[in-house]
Amino acid sequence: MNYYSLNKQAPKVSFQEAVVQGLAPDKGLYFPESISKLPQSFFDSIENLSNEEIAFEVINQFVGNEIPEKELRQIISETLSFDFPLIKVEENIYSLELFHGPTMAFKDVGARFMSRCLAYFNKGKDLKNTVLVATSGDTGGAVAAGFLDVKGVEVVILYPSGKVSDIQEKQLTTLGQNITALEVDGVFDDCQEMVKKAFLDEDLKFKNLTSANSINIARWLPQMFYFFFAYKELKKENKPLVISCPSGNFGNICAGILAKKLGLPIEHFVASTNINDTVPKFLKTGKYDPKPSKATISNAMDVGNPSNFIRIQELYGNDLENFRNDFSSYSFSDEETKQAILEIYKKSNYIAEPHGAVGFLGLKRELEKYPNSIGIFLETAHPIKFSDSVQEILSVKLSIPEQIESVLDKEKKSSKISNYEDLKAFLLS
Ligand SMILES: *Cc1c(COP(=O)(O)O)cnc(C)c1O
């Protein structure tokens, strides 16, 4: 399979090149050259397939012959070594829990898939890749765990000192081996700025730098799997499905739209955001007007200029009416989010965290228009990852799951840096 850059100023590349480069040389995001529907027989018998079999059918055309079937099945099997439970929260409303992976964030799936693809491509070569990521919290932990001990890949994570939660910091800084955490004296935007500068720095070309956020196709594409898993569970209900994704960079929902292109019967998508409402505004006015991000309690979605928006536009043929037919987007304040967490708990005894609660709110609003449907909201993190807000809102004490417990006793190891020169010196050392 070939990929083209959405800026259309760079040559087409293979799956491997797109994964290794991350972003195209013209700074565009890569997009698959063709998208083929899966055969009807696949959907007819999906309930008889395992998650791993489903995932193979879904991703196969996007990898093509660049990874042999046996190895690709192995990568998928390692990627999906945990559950994706669908929990009934109310009549016709389900939470699809994506947080049962090693770092309890949905980004585990993409990070694990990408790391194993890179490892496959590097096998038997001297080549080394350096994955450089800036994180405001959740991405870094998933990438660190996903790439731990993967041969031929060094991972360098930049995070803003004092601005991530204790659990998140432990997940970033205690792994060692091929993972290095750099604690930046600054905010998330400073980290992001440094990473961007490093990608453009000719002196660092030999480091084969790549990114591991959802601009990378190997992080983005495997997120399609969740939507198929949910369909498999709910197919027997024989009702239209409405799916709400709590959205920040819009990678997850963009994968859902791609899943629909493959023939997955999803009636309608809802992109639920916090007050960073660039996309809800776009759907209303037709004008895309990115803004600097504002801080909220659902901080993994504090994004003012969602990087995958351009891919969504491409999927809808840059046609606003197409877009609106399939897709709604609503924005909610922290106050509404807290209220929702409380309400879900009181009514259903279900503990949602701020991102999932935003998803729930968007779903509820949309279901007013689709009363005979089944609604699903994605729960993208375990409540313990946002325990400060959840415990305060619900006045409960959350118990600490095993995955988290095991990192809390480990010793933090990080190096402090304050500017780009420090980062460069580190990368050159
Ligand atoms: C990253 C993240 C999101 C947003 O996902 P996108 O694909 O960027 O839209 C939502 N919730 C949590 C907990 C996240 O970590």
Per-residue confidence of the chain (429 residues) as pLDDT tens digits? 999 999 999 999 999 999 998 889 898 999 999 999 999 999 999 999 999 999 999 999 999 999 999 999 999 999 999 999 999 999 999 999 999 999 999 999 999 999 999 999 988 887 788 999 988 878 889 999 999 988 889 999 999 998 888 889 999 999 989 999 999 998 888 898 899 889 889 999 888 898 888 889 999 999 999 999 999 999 999 999 999 999 999 999 999 999 999 999 999 999 999 999 999 999 999 999 999 888 899 988 998 889 999 999 999 999 999 999 999 999 999 999 999 999 999 999 999 999 999 999 999 999 999 989 999 999 999 999 999 999 999 999 999 998 899 888 899 999 999 999 999 999 998
CA 253 to ligand 1 centroid distance, Å: 10
Pairing state between β 241-246 and 153-160: unpaired
Neighbouring-strand partners of residue 93: 90, 375
pLDDT, position 292: 86
Q: Which of the residues 12, 107, 163, 410 is marked catalytic?
A: 107
CA 203 to ligand 1 centroid distance, Å: 33
Token pair 């001990």 is at which residue? 149
User: For residues 381 and 245, what is the distance between their CA atoms, to the nearest angstrom?
Assistant: 12
Residue whose CA is at the smallest distance from ligand 1 atom 8: 249
Q: What is the CA 231 to chain-centroid distance, rounded?
A: 19
301 lines ligand 1 (CB under 6 A): yes
The tokens of 389 are what?
A: 């807000």
How many angstroms separate the Cα of 353 from the Cα of each of 15, 55, 89, 205, 267?
35, 27, 14, 41, 26
| Kind and range of the H or E run holding 268 | strand 268-273
CA 30 to ligand 1 centroid distance, Å: 20
CA 169 to ligand 1 centroid distance, Å: 18
Through-space distance between the first and last CA atoms of the chain, rounded to whole angstroms? 37
pLDDT, position 192: 83
> For helices 138-147 and 107-122, what crossing angle results, to 10°?
40
Total tally of structural domains belonging to the chain: 1
User: For residues 72 and 359, what is the distance between their CA atoms, to the nearest angstrom?
Assistant: 32
pLDDT, position 151: 85
352 lines ligand 1 (CB under 6 A): no
Domain ranges, residue 235:
82-104+220-400
271 lines ligand 1 (CB under 6 A): no
Q: How many residues does the chain have?
A: 429
Residue whose CA is at the smallest distance from ligand 1 atom 2: 300
User: For residues 416 and 413, what is the distance between their CA atoms, to the nearest angstrom?
Assistant: 10
Is residue 251 one of the residues assigned to a domain?
yes
Is residue 380 one of the residues assigned to a domain?
yes
247 lines ligand 1 (CB under 6 A): yes
Is residue 280 one of the residues assigned to a domain?
yes
Pocket test for ligand 1, best of 109, 252, 386 (most atoms within 8 A of CB): 252
Angle at 272 between CA 224 and CA 326, to 5 degrees: 60
Is residue 356 one of the residues assigned to a domain?
yes
The tokens of 398 are what?
A: 């959350």
| Kind and range of the H or E run holding 32 | strand 30-32
Using the atom order of ligand 1, give the atom closest to the CA of residue 254. Answer: 7
273 lines ligand 1 (CB under 6 A): no
User: For residues 330 and 363, what is the distance between their CA atoms, to the nearest angstrom?
Assistant: 9
Q: Model-level pTM?
A: 0.95
Is residue 309 one of the residues assigned to a domain?
yes
For the question of residue 107 being annotated catalytic, the response is yes
- Strands, E assignment, 198-252: 209-210, 241-246
Is residue 262 one of the residues assigned to a domain?
yes
Residue 356: give its domain's CATH number: 3.40.50.1100
- For residues 288 and 194, is the Cβ–Cβ distance under 8 A? no
Is residue 338 one of the residues assigned to a domain?
yes
Is residue 296 one of the residues assigned to a domain?
yes
380 lines ligand 1 (CB under 6 A): yes
